[in-house]
């Protein structure tokens, strides 16, 4: 009896500083389940990080840290391919090839380019304009069936699909056209200080976001200061953005429904609920932080893993790149 081939999934994350509780509950926690069900490829997308000016030593540390954190979360190099993007040259090579099959007008319409240009008006570089093509290369190299996407990345997957279909239309069946993967579970975590906005590590108010590697004391302090409302009843409500957010976080960690949470805290105040949410987050993140502390100290072992991951990724990527180059007419 033939073994059933697993469907392929690819997901990448930038090493742009400390990853947050929002990253964890919204995406990373789902990656653990995905590696049991799918043939997964995960990358630290360091090439994407330099569209914004970086301090070299800090960027290097963030790459190490992000890779170590993915291991600490439980991603298993034996089950999945886990690598650093810049270690596989095929990403840059395919990006150039695909850029010649991408229209200027398509890139001009990308909303993230407009947003980031406004934020970094002193450095509107070509990389910032064309990085969706690099993202398409990241995806198409590994022929994934699915790519997990949030609302802010949907447009990038759409352009990757458009580029793949255009190339295949000219040269035949070269790239797999991936579908978006919508996780069965995954919380959209909002700012603890302005719960109408998504939790973001770029927020200047440090009390608005929780880092995966925050200390228990810092986590508890941030939840105690979380913005709520004046009703003082733990339940979902149309204008109860702060409480809705805390219920969502507590639900994602405990597995309890909003109705069960409302019943659990019936007759109790927001102070009790904030403590409970904070404690649940502390205990959820504690083993990750402890594993991270051990992994990041052993740079030699870390290097062995990311070098092996790059070799594994390189093998798959080079086959796709060679096929695409041969179709275009390059001499190989």
For the chain, report the end-to-end CA distance as a whole number of angstroms: 38
Handedness of CA 230, 231, 232, 237 (dihedral sign): negative
Among 7, 201, 224, 327, the active-site one is 201
Among 29, 143, 198, 240, the active-site one is 198
Residue 41 CB burial class (10 angstroms; 0-12, 13-18, ≥19) = buried
**274's tokens:** 């904030």
198 has catalytic annotation: yes
Residue 267 CB burial class (10 angstroms; 0-12, 13-18, ≥19) = exposed
How far apart are alpha carbons 322 and 332 in whole angstroms?
A: 8
Q: Which residues pair with 180 in a beta bridge?
A: 147
116 has catalytic annotation: yes
How far apart are alpha carbons 148 and 88 in whole angstroms?
A: 21
Among 116, 222, 240, 274, the active-site one is 116
How far apart are alpha carbons 301 and 308 in whole angstroms?
A: 11
3-state secondary structure 76-93: CCCCCEEEEHHHCCHHHH
How far apart are alpha carbons 144 and 270 in whole angstroms?
A: 44
Q: Please identify which residue in the block is written with the tokens 């200080």.
A: 193
Handedness of CA 186, 191, 194, 197 (dihedral sign): negative
143 has catalytic annotation: no
With CA atoms as reference, report the closest residue to 222 among 256, 195, 253: 195
Do 191 and 21 form a contact (C-beta atoms < 8 A)?
no
CB atoms within 10 A of CB 326: 13
**83's tokens:** 């690598």
Residues designated catalytic = 116, 198, 201
């Amino acid at each position: 009896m033939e073994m059933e081939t697993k469907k392929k999934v690819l997901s990448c994350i930038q090493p742009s500083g400390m990853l947050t509780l929002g990253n964890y509950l919204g995406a990373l926690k789902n990656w653990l389940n995905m590696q049991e069900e799918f043939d997964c490829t995960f990358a630290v997308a360091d090439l994407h990080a330099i569209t914004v000016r970086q301090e070299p030593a800090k960027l290097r540390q963030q790459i190490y840290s992000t890779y170590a954190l993915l291991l600490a979360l439980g991603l298993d190099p034996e089950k999945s391919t886990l690598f650093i993007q810049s270690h596989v040259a095929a990403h840059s090579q395919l990006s150039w090839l695909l850029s010649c099959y991408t229209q200027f007008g398509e890139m001009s319409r990308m909303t993230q380019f407009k947003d980031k240009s406004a934020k970094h008006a002193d450095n509107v570089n070509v990389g910032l304009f064309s990085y969706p093509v690099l993202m398409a290369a990241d995806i198409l190299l590994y022929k994934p069936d699915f790519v997990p996407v949030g609302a802010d990345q949907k447009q990038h997957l759409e352009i990757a699909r458009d580029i793949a279909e255009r190339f295949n239309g000219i040269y035949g069946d070269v790239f797999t056209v991936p579908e978006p993967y919508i996780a069965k579970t995954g919380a959209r975590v909002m700012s603890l200080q302005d719960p109408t906005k998504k939790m973001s590590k770029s927020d200047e108010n440090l009390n608005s976001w929780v880092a995966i590697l925050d200390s228990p004391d810092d986590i508890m302090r941030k939840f105690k200061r979380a913005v709520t409302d004046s009703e003082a009843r733990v339940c979902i409500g149309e204008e109860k953005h702060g409480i809705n957010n805390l219920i969502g976080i507590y639900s994602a960690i405990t597995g309890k429904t909003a109705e069960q949470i409302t019943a659990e805290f019936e007759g109790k105040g927001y102070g009790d609920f904030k403590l409970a949410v904070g404690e649940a987050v502390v205990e959820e993140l504690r083993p990750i932080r402890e594993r991270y502390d051990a992994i990041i100290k052993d740079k030699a072992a870390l290097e062995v893993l990311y070098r092996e991951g790059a070799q594994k990724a390189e093998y798959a990527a080079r086959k796709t790149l060679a096929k695409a180059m041969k179709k275009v007419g390059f001499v190989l």
